Structure 1
């Protein structure tokens, strides 16, 4: 006999799914905001502490892009730093795909607003994009999609980059690239989806080429494993997939051929940039990142290059859970391919030799065969662990769906769900992100803030800040932005060619900039010979300098001021918080 409850018609809520979707998306936006709350609360002078000099650099990128748009100038190049040679912006991570459309925001509210909006929106949009793709095309449960998407966007390694690298945060196009490939594999409208794929890849090039390369590597591993598991299916997929990819490649080539030529062969381009051997320690995968709930900064420091490069750090509970999920779903071809891709990308990220707790072993890794390949040669190998994040997130979504769809007696079904969600909480709560630390920026010196610089800089002349800006101190870029790009700077923080054509961070140092860097490090002002003064004059003429300035609050300011006094054979004048040397007589235009 049927129970009375079975006779009652099931109430359907036509908008229930839409409300659930909106609730999930709102949760992502709230989470992203809370991570950056301290910066949103202090847009005027807040600075992400762990970004070191990257916030200065990225704000400069956004500001110079907006200026290029307003003045109808080439957005792929600028000579406002590294004057007079300039900077190839296409060969840097300028994120023109964000900087150009957000030009109104930059102009109206400043580059700091663009910076935090890109970071916050990047996290939320990436989570939302993965939720859309997973819930519509991969799993049948919103809970599974929500959990998987949240991990894809808010994983510890992503939050580490969220301190300083928006190109590794704004990954919202990658889910739709994956979706187009899925549709092609299913034989759905190869030409149309190929065109859309090409457009998506084109836009991703202007958001971040390195994440695209890592994603492509992950997808290639997945495809190979899936094809080996299901060769007949793979053969049937080959034709529509191949057609779509060829169409997409044609579209992408037509749209990015010139920008990529500019990047690799244009002014101030470079061949490659080497970082040395910087693979992940295997122990990093079971450790907790600095920005996670149970993270220990000192432990994380032992297993990473810096706070923005904690590229592994899944935490041991999640590693155990993902291993269990891999075993449980091994017979599912897609899950198996995801698991192999996840572990393969983690292995690639460990570098040429496996290192465990700081001890190198003799076990080689795949990176041994990859480190010298074109494009791969310029990537930090530890970053390939980021490629393991999405497969892990999708595995969590698939496992959640499997548990929620278990055909068990009611009590056993409840127990399975409680057990699974308890395991998820045990694995994910410890690695949940915390809000990022922010400190007060030093105020802009009055010399730049009140336009005093205009009395010293003529058209075509540059400003030389002592010590010259580089990766260790790029505050001068912030001053230049606040001064409305009224003058170019000598040297700076960017990637450009070294003397041998390979990439290097910052400008090729002139003799005077090397000397000033040495003084800043040691605090010792050396004696200057007549030859040294002639070299200083030559370097100033090279930079087309009109004025040399030294912040009064700079470290080793006394030694630096004495050194410049001796180099220029003139004493500095205190003006607007700066020591100032007018050198127009030395470098007549």
Structure 2
């Protein structure tokens, strides 16, 4: 019996299977399935998988050294936020609550979880781990092995579609998965490091272009897209823009081949859409029209300078955080920083291989993503000249208004990975030993400076005994909230850690999440701030005690009533003294030290308060 196998380089190999002689048992189903797999997987493939796992583990070695106490230094408040999302997803599953909404935070208005980066596609399957070991364990697993899985997925796709050399595919995959912008987001943004579905989506689109099994590939593309939506919609949007840029450029470079691909896509994409829409229609409706939904996020221009593409990121081997900080809004948004050696190498590869339509399309895609990331107004370095950027054309389109422009610089990462893989593949095939040596040396010289270093960590503040030991329950009646001071915000998220560390045992107002603000319901990074929320936040950031008069006291009473507050809690920490003095004046009395925090019992008139007061009088 003969079989025909299609190889990654699109050649066909005819193999013969030995006939079964009389008395011999035919191979079992497991053997028939495992046989092609074991023949396809080679020791080098296993070594590549091990390399990506080890590399990711080394990046997060400081975090794994002590999960209970270490916190990624450059994550700001985003690690606490990510762990909170992980914890709330697990609790919703465990208690069969609505997975798209909660009032545990942001009380009483709540949080539209679908409109936030809860990443249900990752957090829900890992619920058993979260419940058993805590959200920090899940957080570390997703950061570490999401990054490794992305490298493995790109290796498989590059080997399947672009190059014959396995080492070339491995190097290209490493560039794509461990690119400086990805490493920057690796400080906390799970949705920008667990990118393993994007290569698989690209693979299915390419399969549809080939047109061999349109129905199967269309169904898989639809399912893969749905899963990516539940990991990160913003990443999917950027990937879609990148693939569109690539498709347009490739169509112009090789019109004959594109005609056949368009016919196959015309059959397969409707199938993918028919599969995906019924699965995501409800969740997306809830995201955009349900409670807690919002419109665009007015974050102001966050763009890449043309010079930022030539710089080294702060986490790179040749990087300097002080220099990198001048080119990015923060250390989680270093969305370019590929370094001038890699840019020079990419230019040399493009010139050398320019005749190939694939290279032309890749270069156009990289340029398109880079220019989009520069925003609506692009300043030409050293000239003072400002030109209009293409972002102006898409800024007002649906979804784009909520995207940080500079993140489109990440489109360049897989493009550079493919270009490097093509170059190494060409070098591996040449018989000119001198050319091979010099070429590989140039590749090494371009990549070595951007090799990432391990993430720094610091010791995170412990959960106060008042919270950890459940003492707060003596002050909070059913249906009431614990009000932490300062209330959770983008710049202070410790109270989110209190919640995630105690399995969402208490409810609180405030929070660090995307929510509607103002009468137009524009997106903000916290709930629509009430007067006391805003006042305490100002004290926290400034360290100054404001003038407290009758109006502020009345607003505080009204806000505490709105929040159904049972107790106000202030933990020692940054600017705690001015916060204490502000609360003392707002509430008209000193706080009581209990379990390592200052407490103001505001639960007067409730059954719990009457019980505590009776016990005090009896004593």
TM-score w.r.t. the length of structure 2 is: 0.90
Which has the larger displacement, 341-350 or 22-31?
341-350
1:343-393: CA deviation from partner (whole Å, max 9, x where unpaired) = 111111111122345875222221121211111111111000001111111
Shift of 1:508: 1.1
Corresponding residue to 1:144 among 147, 164, 168:
168
**Pair 1:300–1:356, CA change in 2 (3 A):** farther
Number of the residue aligned with 1:444: 463
Number of the residue aligned with 2:35: none
Please give the alpha-carbon distance, in whole angstroms, between the structure 1 residues aligned to 2:200 and 2:384.
39
Q: Contact 1:226 / 1:333 at 8 angstroms: preserved in 2?
A: yes
Q: Contact 2:249 / 2:364 at 8 angstroms: preserved in 1?
A: yes
Shift of 1:588: 8.6
1:103-141: CA deviation from partner (whole Å, max 9, x where unpaired) = 011011110010010000111000001111111232111
- Would you say 1:528 and 2:556 are equivalent positions? no
Q: Contact 1:32 / 1:123 at 8 angstroms: preserved in 2?
A: yes
Matching of residues 466-477 of structure 1 within 5 Å: 466-477=485-496
Number of the residue aligned with 2:363: 339
Q: Contact 1:546 / 1:587 at 8 angstroms: preserved in 2?
A: no
TM-score w.r.t. the length of structure 1 is: 0.94
Shift of 1:487: 1.2
Please give the alpha-carbon distance, in whole angstroms, between the structure 1 residues aligned to 2:529 and 2:489.
10
- Would you say 1:538 and 2:543 are equivalent positions? no
Please give the alpha-carbon distance, in whole angstroms, between the structure 2 residues aligned to 1:438 and 1:560.
28
- SS class of match (1:283): helix
Number of the residue aligned with 1:321: 345
- SS class of match (1:310): coil
Matching of residues 368-387 of structure 1 within 5 Å: 368-387=392-411
**Pair 1:303–1:271, CA change in 2 (3 A):** same
Please give the alpha-carbon distance, in whole angstroms, between the structure 1 residues aligned to 2:40 and 2:281.
46
Please give the alpha-carbon distance, in whole angstroms, between the structure 2 residues aligned to 1:80 and 1:347.
41
Please give the alpha-carbon distance, in whole angstroms, between the structure 2 residues aligned to 1:192 and 1:227.
25
- Would you say 1:304 and 2:328 are equivalent positions? yes
Which has the larger displacement, 339-348 or 553-562?
553-562
- Would you say 1:416 and 2:435 are equivalent positions? yes
Shift of 1:235: 1.4
Q: Contact 1:351 / 1:382 at 8 angstroms: preserved in 2?
A: yes
Please give the alpha-carbon distance, in whole angstroms, between the structure 2 residues aligned to 1:522 and 1:233.
62
Corresponding residue to 1:560 among 557, 560, 579:
579
Matching of residues 495-506 of structure 1 within 5 Å: 495-499=514-518, 500-506=520-526
Number of the residue aligned with 1:45: 69
Number of the residue aligned with 2:567: 547
**Pair 1:523–1:304, CA change in 2 (3 A):** closer
Shift of 1:484: 2.5
- Would you say 1:463 and 2:482 are equivalent positions? yes
Number of the residue aligned with 1:33: 57
1:262-299: CA deviation from partner (whole Å, max 9, x where unpaired) = 10001100111122112101110110000000101111
Please give the alpha-carbon distance, in whole angstroms, between the structure 1 residues aligned to 2:371 and 2:189.
23
Shift of 1:90: 0.4
Corresponding residue to 1:575 among 594, 597, 610:
594
Number of the residue aligned with 1:10: none
**Pair 1:172–1:107, CA change in 2 (3 A):** same
Give the superposed CA RMSD: 1.5
Shift of 1:586: 6.9
Please give the alpha-carbon distance, in whole angstroms, between the structure 2 residues aligned to 1:534 and 1:181.
60
Corresponding residue to 2:247 among 198, 223, 229:
223
Please give the alpha-carbon distance, in whole angstroms, between the structure 2 residues aligned to 1:193 and 1:260.
24
Q: Contact 2:380 / 2:386 at 8 angstroms: preserved in 1?
A: no
**Pair 1:18–1:467, CA change in 2 (3 A):** same
Please give the alpha-carbon distance, in whole angstroms, between the structure 2 residues aligned to 1:473 and 1:236.
55
Corresponding residue to 2:108 among 73, 80, 84:
84
**Pair 1:360–1:48, CA change in 2 (3 A):** farther
Shift of 1:467: 1.4
Please give the alpha-carbon distance, in whole angstroms, between the structure 2 residues aligned to 1:138 and 1:472.
44
Q: Contact 1:283 / 1:356 at 8 angstroms: preserved in 2?
A: no
Which has the larger displacement, 514-523 or 47-56?
514-523
- SS class of match (1:463): strand
Please give the alpha-carbon distance, in whole angstroms, between the structure 2 residues aligned to 1:466 and 1:380.
30
1:449-480: CA deviation from partner (whole Å, max 9, x where unpaired) = 11111111111100111111100001101111
Number of the residue aligned with 1:157: 181
Number of the residue aligned with 2:528: 508
Q: Contact 2:87 / 2:503 at 8 angstroms: preserved in 1?
A: no
Please give the alpha-carbon distance, in whole angstroms, between the structure 2 residues aligned to 1:419 and 1:341.
28
Number of the residue aligned with 2:511: 492
- SS class of match (1:123): helix
Number of the residue aligned with 1:114: 138
Number of the residue aligned with 1:394: 418
Q: Contact 1:540 / 1:587 at 8 angstroms: preserved in 2?
A: no
Please give the alpha-carbon distance, in whole angstroms, between the structure 2 residues aligned to 1:527 and 1:189.
72
Q: Contact 1:545 / 1:587 at 8 angstroms: preserved in 2?
A: no
- SS class of match (2:482): strand
Please give the alpha-carbon distance, in whole angstroms, between the structure 1 residues aligned to 2:176 and 2:194.
12
1:125-163: CA deviation from partner (whole Å, max 9, x where unpaired) = 000011111112321110110011011110111000000
Please give the alpha-carbon distance, in whole angstroms, between the structure 1 residues aligned to 2:383 and 2:94.
54
Matching of residues 126-137 of structure 1 within 5 Å: 126-137=150-161
- SS class of match (2:568): strand
Which has the larger displacement, 323-332 or 511-520?
511-520
